Every structure is written in structure tokens, then in C-alpha cells.
Amino acid sequence: MNYSPPDQQTLEGVLDTVKFDKDGLIAAIAQSAEAPHEILMLAWMNREALAETLATGRVCYFSRSRNALWRKGESSGQTQQLVSARIDCDRDAVLVLVQQKGVACHTGRRSCFYHEVTPEGLRDTTAPEISAEALYGKSH
Amino acid sequence: MNYSPPDQQTLEGVLDTVKFDKDGLIAAIAQSAEAPHEILMLAWMNREALAETLATGRVCYFSRSRNALWRKGESSGQTQQLVSARIDCDRDAVLVLVQQKGVACHTGRRSCFYHEVTPEGLRDTTAPEISAEALYGKSH
């Protein structure tokens, strides 16, 4: 269950095979290591975020809204520790198996995928486990 | 384990809440219903593909390379039957739980996510279960 990073040279070789899109991004899926049936979230990584994730074992995304690296949990404390990382066949997506501290979703839910399509429309499958205030402080 | 589609009006209401990107797409993650720890693939849907998927229960993507609807399995026979669909918190990604017939990956592997990052670089975690010839015919 422990991730072992490649050395810098090997890591650069891996990164060179990844096909980042025209905005320099790939899609990144986070899956729970403790409960692997649980898909926690989908976010984005640029080369720098993927490099940091694979070098440190702490998951780092790229925030498209902030246009900056997004070290998961740096404001909320809800970090993701990498267990394994897999690139897909056409090398434009990455699946990270992670140990999620607390919840992945900014709404306080464990997973971001909670709007289920039902015959009656969208239905929330889960309730928040923690408030936004507890996650981000009163100023949020 | 059976998906029940909403009626047309309810479906349009659901689709209206989805935030397609500047290219009209959302990311779509396919997860195996039989083996939910298995993430099969990541692809893309436009509004039409998502509408067809949710109306018919047969998963349909949008192929960015062919710029056309991609009814999963229409040439390979490796169809995906929808079990459930969940939209994420910011409504720009969808997670589909599917019954995968055969394999999801065009390489003949069950899952597209098979290039694992190891200290020695990328390592294939799985071998193809079926040949491209068997999947797509000799002309492929």
C-alpha cells in the first residue's frame, strides 16, 4: 500500500510520455484506497502538478479557476496520500489511488459524485459529513 | 442494478444543469458494476452523447478524434450497459457505473489504466485479454 517514487531522471522520462492537452492538462481521477469502489473526484493536473504528485506522494492538482497548483488539502487539511498512479492507454489521463484524509469534496461529502440521475431528476446520494466552515474556517 | 431513465422533459432538465466546457464536453469516467474497484476508462461526452446515454441506458461517448458520437461497442461489440450515472459537485464530470461486455480498452485490456508508475518507470499491470484483430476485425 506504499507508493515508491521514481528518481528524478526516471520521473522526467515518465512525464515525457504523457500527452497533455492544448491547455497543458490531463484529467486526474482520484479513487479511494481504503474503499476502492469509491471514486472521490475528478480534477486536472499540468506537468508540474503531476511531477510533484509523483515525486512527493502527496497529490497536487492544477486549479483551472485559480490558474495555480492546488496542493489538495492545503487549506482544508483533507490531504490525499498517493498509493499508486496509473496512466491510461492513450496517456492523457491518470488514475490515482489515494488515502483520503477526511472528505474529498468541498461540499463536505466524501465523494464529489453525489448527484445521481433518477427517473425524478437529480437526487443527492449523500449528505455532507462536515461543514464548509469546519473545512475552510469562518471566513470562507 | 437496473437503470431507469427519466422521461424526456426530466432528462432535459438534468442536462440543463450540466456545465459543458468551451468545446461542449464533460469528462466521463466508466466504473465496472461487477467489480467496482475497477475503473475502466475515461472519455468525453457532449450534450447529445450524455442525453443518449441517459435516455437509452447504452453508454455513448463523443469521440474527439472522429468528432462524432461514439456508441461504445458499435464496432468492437464491447458495449457498456448503464447501471447508474452520477454528476459531480460542480457538474462538469459524470461517473457511469456500467456492465462492461468484454473489455473496455481498445488494446484488448479490461481497463485503460494499465501503465503504473513504479520506481523503474512505467510498468504494464495487465496483458491484453483479446487481440485487436478479434475486437475490430482483420482490416483494423
Q: Enter the ipTM.
A: 0.95
* Residue A127 forms part of a structural domain: no
- Amino acid, single-letter form, for residue A90: D
CA distance A96 to chain B (A): 10
In A, minimum Cα distance to B3 occurs at: A118
- Contacts with B95 from chain A: Cβ below 8 Å: 39, 113
Q: Is residue B39 part of a domain?
A: yes
**Chain B hits for A2, Cβ within 8 Å:** none
pLDDT digits (tens, 9 = 90+) for A79-138: 999 999 999 999 999 999 999 999 999 999 999 999 999 999 999 999 999 998 898 886
pLDDT at A140 exceeding the cut of 70: no
C-alpha cell at B42: 475515461
Q: Does A16 touch chain B (CB under 8 A)?
A: no
Give the domain extent around B76. 8-104
Whole-model pTM: value is 0.96
CB contact under 8 A, B122 and A4: no
B88·A17 Cβ contact <8 A: no
- Is residue A21 domain-resident? yes
A-chain CB neighbours of B70 within 8 Å are: none
Kindly give the parts of chain B with pLDDT less than 70. 1, 138-140
Among positive and negative, which fits the CA dihedral B127, B129, B133, B135?
negative
Percent of chain A with pLDDT over 90: 91
A81: its cell numbers: 496520500
> Which residues of B participate in the annotated binding site for Zn(2+)?
89, 105, 112
Q: In this complex, is the C-beta atom of B54 within 8 Å of any C-beta atom belonging to chain A?
A: yes
Please, which residues 96-125 of chain B have a Cβ atom closer than 8 Å to chain A? 105-107, 109, 112-122, 125
Contact A29 B13 (CB under 8 A): no
Considering the domain boundaries, does residue A20 fall inside one? yes
- DSSP assignment letter at A131: -
pLDDT given for residue B140 in this prediction: 45
- Known binding residue A112? Answer is yes
> Looking at the 3D structure of chain B, how many domains does it have?
1
Q: Which of A126, A122, A26, A34 lies closest to A80 in space, CA to CA?
A: A34
Please indicate, yes or no, if residue A57 is contained in any of the structural domains: yes
Closest by CA position to B125, among listed A111, A84, A116, A79? A84
Read off the amino acid at residue B60: C
DSSP tag of A6: P
Q: Does some domain include residue B126?
A: no
Measured distance CA(A40)–CA(A80) in Å, rounded: 10
Q: Domain holding A95: CATH number?
A: 3.10.20.810
Q: Give a yes or no: residue A64 inside a domain.
A: yes
Give A-chain residues touching B31 at CB under 8 angstroms: 37, 39
Whether the CB-CB separation of A92 and A18 falls below 8 Å is answered with yes
